Amino acid sequence: MAMAYTSWSLLSTRLFCTNKAKRYSSSLLSSTDLFCANKATAAAAPAATVLYCSSNCFCCACNGRRRDLWWSWSSGKHILRCLKQLQRNGTKARARASSVRWDNPSKRLLSTAASAVEVGGVTISRDEVVKEEDPTNNVPDTIFSKIGMQLHKRPDHPLGILKNVIYNHFDERYPGLFHKFDDLSPIVSIKENFDDVLVPSDHVSRSYNDTYYINSETVLRCHTSAHQGQMLRDGYTHFLVSGDVYRRDAIDATHYPIFHQMEGFRVFTPNEWEKAGLDGTTLAANELKETLEGLAKRLFGNVETRWTDSYFPFTDPSYELEIFFKEKWLEVLGCGVTKQEILTDNGQGGKTAWAFGLGLERLAMVLFDIPDIRLFWSSDPRFTAQFTAGQLGIKFKPFSKFPPCYKDISFWISDAFTENNLCEVVRGIAGDLVEEVSLIDKFTNKKGMTSHCYRITYRSMERSLTDDEINFFQANVREEAQKKLNVILR
């Protein structure tokens, strides 16, 4: 029988059994939650920080010496005993108490959180990416668990289908010209992610509030533009780079902290612009719009699109393309004529170039009629089985719409409060079961204290949530918000 493994980090203050609705605290462990659910609630558990379960789990704390445990109240007690034993033995909580196993993955296809993932033949371990004790690190387990999933490399996943159609477009338009890369590591230096593409030192995207830092020098790339410099230095002048990118961001149906981009880059030589009777910048700008309009036509046929002027530190002029989707204009890509300095700094002086970065999810949502960005991560066969390699025209049929549940939280903020931090707290607790976090009320009292009220929408794509689960999430959100965000609950 197929086995699925998930890693579990034993850094827990709480042991929570929803089946008994009981909660145990233990101060011997630090940080994240250990969520001991019964089978019915296993899928609700936030990825990575938790324990997934079904029958036949084995205990990670004692390294599986006691197999065949049912995840039930007794196994919860068993875990606590093991943890105490671990501590007595001096094996501090950091001892990553590895794997939980479940034997019937076909019943519940959960996203697995491995203790190591592989990208482009390179193994990345959890310890290299998640460092709870390091103040220069802000990568949570929920993020680590998705590195290496490489949805864009699955030929029958909407993102993979779309990527291949775009590849075909370039192959037909420019036979043999564009080099394609889709497994470059998402771990890059701040030089690659920011400096190489001229992001100013005080730009907001560099902040810990916006970007996932592994340490002060290394980040999870926040755009595929992070590879421009190295590609140019390696001598590539026509390339497409696809990959997962990471951003601390708001939560709603079109934003997700990990999404996929494709970068396109084309260099022009003086020969080319002389032949065209144009200056280098005009040739690059014209050719860019032609290429992307051709691509948009191929992908969307008659869907309404519009160009808007934009700003990027690495291009001038810069544009964004928007598509009319579900009664709103949706931004799908950014592009422009590459700044001269980037070419000069990276061995391509005296030339011009265009570049674009498109959001694969945003395009795929329109093309396949996918209403919520979280669905891309679903391994529910009711989602995955609807798509076929090479077929772009298929419209997603929602399998059912489960009811949302709204919960409000109000608090007095501190100066350091940011919405992204709140979103991360909520996601760390409810995972993909949180659909939206939105500010619904805000005021400042006479003493100058500012209050925010956020509405959190919980909804599963796959099933109805129980009141117990929602209450559990919300109680934890309140507690963690207070603890981690320094806010005063109202």
Q: Under the rule (CB under 6 A), what is the footprint of ligand FA5?
A: 223, 225, 247, 249, 255-256, 259, 261, 263, 312, 314-315, 331-336, 355-357, 359, 361-362
Q: How far is the CB of 143 from ligand FA5 (least distance, A)?
A: 13
Of 263 and 287, which has the nearer Cβ to ligand FA5? 263
User: Toward Mg ion, which CB reaches closer, 142 or 254?
Assistant: 254
In angstroms, what is the C-alpha Rg of the chain?
A: 24
- Contact assessment for residue 116 and residue 125, using Cβ atoms and an 8 Å cutoff: yes
Q: Which does 299 bind (CB under 5 to 8 A by kind): Mg ion, ligand FA5, none?
A: none
Q: Is the dihedral of CA 37, 43, 45, 51 positive or negative?
A: positive
Q: Per DSSP, what are the bridge partners of residue 266?
A: 238, 354
Least distance (Å) between residue 373 CB and Mg ion: 15
Residue nearest to ligand FA5 (CB): 359
Shortest CB 224 distance to ligand FA5, Å:
7
Contact, 409 vs 478, CB < 8 A? yes
Q: Shortest Cβ distance from residue 265 to Mg ion (Å)?
A: 18
Question: Which CB atom, from 243 or from 334, has the smaller least distance to Mg ion?
Answer: 334
Cβ nearer to ligand FA5, comparing 105 with 280: 280
- Considering the complex, state which of residue 115 and residue 209 has its C-beta at the smaller distance from ligand FA5: 209
Residue 382: CB minimum distance to ligand FA5, A: 23
Cβ proximity to ligand FA5: between 361 and 372 the closer is 361
Nearer to ligand FA5, 419 or 469 (CB): 419
Q: How many angstroms from the chain centroid is the CA of residue 94?
A: 25
Nearest distance from C-beta of residue 63 to ligand FA5, angstroms: 39
Residue by residue, DSSP assigns 167-234 as: HHHHHHHSTTT-EEE----SEEEHHHHTGGGT--TT-GGGSTTTS-EEETTEEE-SSGGGGHHHHHHT
Encoding tokens for residue 396? 């997603």
Number of shown-chain residues binding Mg ion (CB under 5 A): 1
Q: Least distance from C-beta 260 to ligand FA5, angstroms?
A: 8
- Count Cα neighbours of 174 within 13 Å in the Cβ-side half-sphere: 19
Pattern of binders to Mg ion over 306-345, x per CB under 5 A?
Answer: ----------------------------x-----------
CA 386 – CA 298 distance, rounded (Å): 22
Q: Which of 153, 171, 151, 388 is nearest to 298 (CA)?
A: 171
What are the φ and ψ backbone dihedral angles of 196, each rounded to 5 degrees? -60, -30
Which among Mg ion, ligand FA5, none contacts residue 212 (Cβ within 5 to 8 A by kind)?
Answer: none
Rounded CA-CA distance 150/147 in Å is: 7
| Contact footprint for Mg ion (CB under 5 A) | 334
